[in-house]
Amino acid sequence: MRRKKQRSSESIAPRFALRFLFVILALAIGSEALADPAAYLVGERIVRFHESEEARAGAAPSIALREPLAEIQPAPADFPVRPRFENLHNRNGVRVRIDEGTSLYGTGLVPGPLLRNGRRTTLWNHDAFGWGDETPHLYQSHPWVLAVRADGTAFGLLFETTYRSHLDLAGDILFITEGPPFAVLAIDRESPDEVVRALADLTGHMPLPPLWALGYHQCRYSYFPDERVREIARAFREKEIPCDVVWLDIDYMDGFRSFTFHPTRFPDPLGLNEDLRTRGFHTVWILDPGIKKEDGYGVYDTGSERNLWVESADGSPYTGRVWPGECVFPDFTLPAARDWWANLVADFLARGIGGVWVDMNEPAVFDVWDKTMPLSNIHRADEALGGADTHARYHNAYGMLMARATREGALLARPDKRPFVLSRANHLGGQRYAAAWSGDNLATWYHLDVSIPNVLNLGLSGQPFSGPDIGGFAEAGDAALFARWMGIGALFPFARGHTAKGNIDKEPWSFGPETEATCRRAIERRYRLMPYLYTVFRETSLTGLPVARPLFFADPSDPDLRSEDDAFLLGADLLVSARTTPKRDRVPVMPIGDWKKIPWEETAGEEDPDLPELYIRGGAIVPIGPVMQHTGEKPLDPLTLLVRLDAEGRAKGTLYEDDGESLEYRKGAFRITEFEARETRGVVRLASRIVDGYWKEPQRKTFVRLLLDEGTLETEWKGRDSVSIRVRR
């Protein structure tokens, strides 16, 4: 029997809270409908709508899109999505009617549940420390809605503006901006996954990350001095808890000046990084955009000489206080500023640094009520971005452009290696440059609960590489919460433990032996699943499909799956069933069909109530590997294939492999192996074939584990073209 989960009243606040008074006033006063919009076909079943031909002629370039779109011809009259442009309380808005039974998703990084019907959001990048369910805006802005109709068909709406905007989903889809008229891109498809694919085609695909970035990451604000960093790395290896990355927060800097190193805490960053690499660790170091206004500080001096700072309305460099004190801010809308920053990043990475974490880039400013720079500030943007304009226009794009310049710097430093960049602030399309996390969360059951819909809605908004601060950034929490969070967080696309300065330690061993054992099992499970996870990431980089997917992707027409966010799909073939309440008393709805629970010993070693249950789809073959202490420790040997036959006695699966770090895969330096199983007269025969890439097939042990209702059958695949298993039912 399928049981619909129930959320407690404490887990999410009422959906119809009066958050945005001006929106309600606008609705009460009414709206002025404008003339029929100008509508043009820009792709297969993709239409761009403008308020008018005049608005179309004056439209600014879209920062969200990968490249400009050609408006091919007038839109067909029967296109099923018809935005209506309106003047709402003297603001430019658009309304799209939805049919009964339509479910709404996306909207980027937002608090609250997966299902967005009844929710209201402000799109304004904001330093939202300790955010909660009623926080109107977080660190990123994604002007995007995915709508799934009752029959499972879907459409998506991309609102082409970077200005502060308000998205009201209490009834119809209502989008209101505080900026000038804007265009709306509408995508119509037969299923939600096709809409998400089309969104990625328009806004850009996530580049394939280095394999090490898929490992477990350990961070805190802050690990210092350098010997403390070495101590953390040694502890992971001594305790045999897998980890690939240790992170360095702002206390590595000299006086919080970006691109500097504290002379006594970190006197030899290159030596530290080389030492950690011998233990199998990469490092990620933080950079902030606030540059200390100080003569003699090389970064400030060169930026001033080249006139690269954001300007106040009077034309002088704007200054605001951040961590180093009085700061200026690079104008990342300027090509010269992005090139300057990229060269700084390249020199920075020459010290053996693996990846870059860009933070405080909403941009955040201290001691002002709105936590950012004045909206009247001037950005001297290049014409490709739309030309010079105020911060009101470019605020939501600032973090994305900083991430862009940072990635360009990483490629400048290592043109043959894949960069890794994490950015706190971003905009729709920013997946082209950086991964994301959900910012400064709290060690509460609420934040564990919403971490799943956070990741899912980011994935549905084009950003597939994301995760929360595992264990909660602020507040202590306890062992029960930490163990449960690690079990779930270790299966998110991005898996990083993190905590704040002044907080308790939150390494996997910090809550005692029992919790340490759970954390070890959780992280080992991630590494066992790495062959499958890496294969899914590669698929995502090509298709735009999320790594973590909502359950309704399994059956978009099933209404019981529309609000389910206590479970998620990892790729198409694995289902993660979590328990996010303290008493584990909320049971996720399962998709109809054959989903077989994977025995604990296959991925976790032994049963653990704090780890999510894993299910494999009928008809799937899932490749897994051995436990490794880091992704580069040893080759994938042995390879294990988990096989679950469908009702017709068949199963298929794929394994993607490359060197894990270079860009040579773009030239064919990879291997894709397809596996197929078929049962005939009580014998299951498995065969494999290499279908793409020029990598030679390795010599390794391969085990096949056939997951039947009656139990598991295992055999070793000993170098033959196929292998057979006799099934006794």
- Whole-angstrom distance, CA of residue 356 vs CA of residue 360: 13
Mean pLDDT computed over 172-188: 97
State pTM to two decimals.
0.96
Inform me whether the pLDDT recorded for 17 exceeds 50.
no
Mean pLDDT computed over 205-231: 98
- Beginning with the edge strand found earlier in the chain, give each strand of the sheet holding 325-328 in spatial order: 291-292, 325-328, 320-322
Inform me whether the pLDDT recorded for 548 exceeds 70.
yes
Encoded tokens for 558: 């099933």
Mean pLDDT computed over 569-593: 96
Encoded tokens for 669: 């330096």
In the annotation, is 359 catalytic?
Answer: yes
Q: H/E element holding 705?
A: strand 702-708
Inform me whether the pLDDT recorded for 28 exceeds 70.
no
Instruction: For the chain, count helices (H), then strands (E).
Output: 13, 42
370-382 per-residue burial string, b: 16 or more CB within 10 A, e: under 16: eebbbbebbbbbe
What architecture (CATH level 2) is domain 247-433? Alpha-Beta Barrel (3.20)
**Contacts with 494 (C-beta within 8 Å, 6 or more apart), sequence order:** 213, 217, 422, 435, 436, 437, 465, 466, 467
Residues 285-341 pLDDT 10s: 999 999 999 999 999 999 999 999 999 999 999 999 999 999 999 999 999 999 999
| DSSP category for residue 704 | E
Q: H/E element holding 277?
A: helix 269-278
Inform me whether the pLDDT recorded for 26 exceeds 90.
no
Say if residues 665 and 603 touch (Cβ distance below 8 Å): no
Residues 52-62 pLDDT 10s: 999 999 999 99
Question: E strands of 182-266, at which residues?
Answer: 183-189, 216-218, 245-248
At 72 the pLDDT is 87
Question: Kindly report the CA angle at 68 between 62 and 74, in degrees rounded to 5?
Answer: 100
Say if residues 493 and 465 touch (Cβ distance below 8 Å): yes
Mean pLDDT computed over 25-39: 65
- Whole-angstrom distance, CA of residue 433 vs CA of residue 422: 9
Catalytically annotated residue among 160, 408, 440, 657: 440
In the annotation, is 440 catalytic?
Answer: yes
Encoded tokens for 27: 């609705």
Residue written as tokens 């180093």? Answer: 324
Mean pLDDT computed over 595-603: 97
Mean pLDDT computed over 383-401: 97
Phi, psi of 515 (to 5 degrees): -65, -35
| DSSP category for residue 212 | G
Share of the chain above pLDDT 70, in %: 95
Encoded tokens for 59: 């439209």
At 675 the pLDDT is 98
Catalytically annotated residue among 362, 449, 507, 565: 362
* pLDDT band (50, 70, 90) for residue 721: confident
Catalytically annotated residue among 160, 331, 359, 565: 359
Q: Which residue has the higher pLDDT, 347 or 18?
A: 347
* pLDDT band (50, 70, 90) for residue 64: very high
Encoded tokens for 469: 């601060």
* pLDDT band (50, 70, 90) for residue 36: confident
Largest Cα–Cα distance in the chain? 83
Say if residues 712 and 645 touch (Cβ distance below 8 Å): no
What architecture (CATH level 2) is domain 21-203? Sandwich (2.60)
Cite the DSSP H helix spans in 593-687: 600-603
At 31 the pLDDT is 60
- Cα 196 off chain centre by: 14
73 burial class (0-12, 13-18, 19+ CB within 10 angstroms)?
exposed
One-character DSSP codes across 540-561: HHHH---SEE-GGGT-TT-GGG
* pLDDT band (50, 70, 90) for residue 9: very low
Residues 246-263 pLDDT 10s: 999 999 999 999 999 999
* pLDDT band (50, 70, 90) for residue 375: very high
Q: What is the dihedral of CA 383, 389, 394, 400, to 10 degrees?
A: 30
Q: SS3 for 498-538, per residue?
A: CCCCCCCCCCCCCCCHHHHHHHHHHHHHHHHCHHHHHHHHH
- Whole-angstrom distance, CA of residue 140 vs CA of residue 106: 12
Residues 644-682 pLDDT 10s: 999 999 999 999 999 999 999 999 999 999 999 999 999
At 23 the pLDDT is 46
* pLDDT band (50, 70, 90) for residue 33: low
* pLDDT band (50, 70, 90) for residue 10: very low
Say if residues 265 and 300 touch (Cβ distance below 8 Å): no
At 336 the pLDDT is 98
In the annotation, is 362 catalytic?
Answer: yes
The chain-wide mean pLDDT, for the chain, equals 94
Task: Return the closest-CA partner of residue 445 out of 4, 7, 69.
Answer: 7
For the chain, the domains span 21-203, 247-433
Say if residues 310 and 328 touch (Cβ distance below 8 Å): yes
At 321 the pLDDT is 98
CA distances from 322 to 251, 439, 629 (A): 14, 18, 38
Strand, coil or helix: 269: helix
Residues 410-449 pLDDT 10s: 999 999 999 999 999 999 999 999 999 999 999 999 999 9
- Whole-angstrom distance, CA of residue 369 vs CA of residue 352: 39
At 34 the pLDDT is 66
At 187 the pLDDT is 98
